[in-house]
């Protein structure tokens, strides 16, 4: 038979613990939304600060940043980031003898399988010139490309001209014209034999519209 004194003491102990437990639950319920709201506010503030900093740049600086971001994404095969800098209706003239490409989706269909053949990709930009006229701008630069393509080390150089348009307060590339500079080893003979077929682009040719 249980001791009545011990039973009453257990009841009093339980009565003392229950309010404390409820207080802890209430505190956690209130603290979690407050912490989440604080984190959300902090993220919003960080994003706002980043946007304000970018907006404070001149149009030339914004375009230069966009080109750097695009080239970095191109080297890393970061499709999402690269698409952010290209308009959906972009037109592209590539560095090989091929028809122009119209539209981001068509460019992506060619870029991805060729980019998959590459590793250790390097793309250096130099001698950049940027000209802004209202909501339209153009930029040109030289590039130096290096990569292992199909297991072989490949290097090439060329020029790129970009046309950009400011849409939704952001500069995007609407036209990309890339020219590949041929070296002496790439040049065709001055007087090839009559029966010889025109040389096609080498298998190690980098993807079209190299940035």
Which residues make Cβ contacts (< 8 Å) with residue 177, sequence separation at least 6? Answer: 92, 93, 160, 161, 162
Task: Tell whether 104 is covered by a domain.
Answer: yes
Query: What's the CATH code of the domain at 172?
Result: 3.10.450.50
Taking alpha carbons only, the member of 190, 125, 185 closest to residue 160 is 125
Task: Tell whether 193 is covered by a domain.
Answer: no
91 neighbors 101 (Cβ within 8 angstroms): yes
Beta bridge partners of 164: 137, 173
Taking alpha carbons only, the member of 155, 143, 152 closest to residue 186 is 155
Task: Tell whether 9 is covered by a domain.
Answer: no
Per residue, the 3-state secondary structure of the chain, as one string, reads CCCHHHHHHHHHHHHHHHHHHHHHHHHHHHHHHHHHHHHHHHHHHHHHHHHHHHHCCCHHHHHHHHHHHHHHHHHHCCHHHHHHHEEEEEEEECCCCCCCEECHHHHHHHHHHHHCCEEEEEEEEEEEEEEEECCEEEEEEEEEEEEEECCEEEEEEEEEEEEEEEECCEEEEEEEEEEEECCCCCCCCCCCCCCCCCCCCCCCCCCCCCC
Of 25 and 118, more confident: 118
pLDDT in tens, 27-42: 444 444 555 555 555 5
Structural domains in the chain (count): 1
Average pLDDT estimate for 160-169: 96
Task: Tell whether 138 is covered by a domain.
Answer: yes
Residue 118 sits in which domain range?
A: 59-181
Task: Tell whether 169 is covered by a domain.
Answer: yes
pLDDT in tens, 105-154: 999 999 999 999 999 999 999 999 999 999 999 999 999 999 999 999 99
Against a cut of 0.85, is the pTM above it? no
Task: Tell whether 32 is covered by a domain.
Answer: no
Which residues make Cβ contacts (< 8 Å) with residue 80, sequence separation at least 6? Answer: none
Task: Tell whether 14 is covered by a domain.
Answer: no
Task: Tell whether 17 is covered by a domain.
Answer: no
């Amino acid at each position: 038979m249980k001791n009545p004194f011990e039973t009453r003491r257990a009841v009093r102990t339980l009565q003392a613990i229950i309010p404390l437990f409820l207080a802890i639950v209430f505190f956690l319920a209130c603290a979690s939304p407050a912490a989440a709201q604080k984190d959300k506010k902090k993220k919003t503030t960080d994003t706002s600060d980043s946007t304000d900093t970018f907006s404070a740049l001149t149009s030339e600086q914004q375009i230069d940043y966009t080109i750097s971001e695009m080239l970095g994404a191109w080297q890393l095969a970061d499709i999402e980031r690269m698409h952010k800098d290209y308009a959906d209706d972009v037109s592209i003239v590539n560095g090989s003898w091929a028809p122009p490409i119209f539209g981001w989706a068509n460019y992506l269909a060619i870029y991805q399988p060729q980019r998959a053949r590459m590793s250790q990709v390097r793309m250096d930009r130099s001698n950049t010139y940027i000209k802004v006229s209202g909501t339209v701008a153009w930029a040109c630069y030289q590039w130096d490309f290096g990569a292992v393509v199909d297991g072989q080390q490949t290097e090439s150089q060329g020029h790129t001209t970009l046309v950009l348009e400011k849409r939704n307060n952001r500069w995007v590339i609407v036209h990309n014209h890339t020219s590949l500079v041929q070296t002496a080893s790439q040049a065709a003979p001055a007087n090839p034999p009559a029966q010889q077929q025109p040389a096609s682009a080498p298998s190690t040719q980098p993807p079209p519209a190299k940035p």
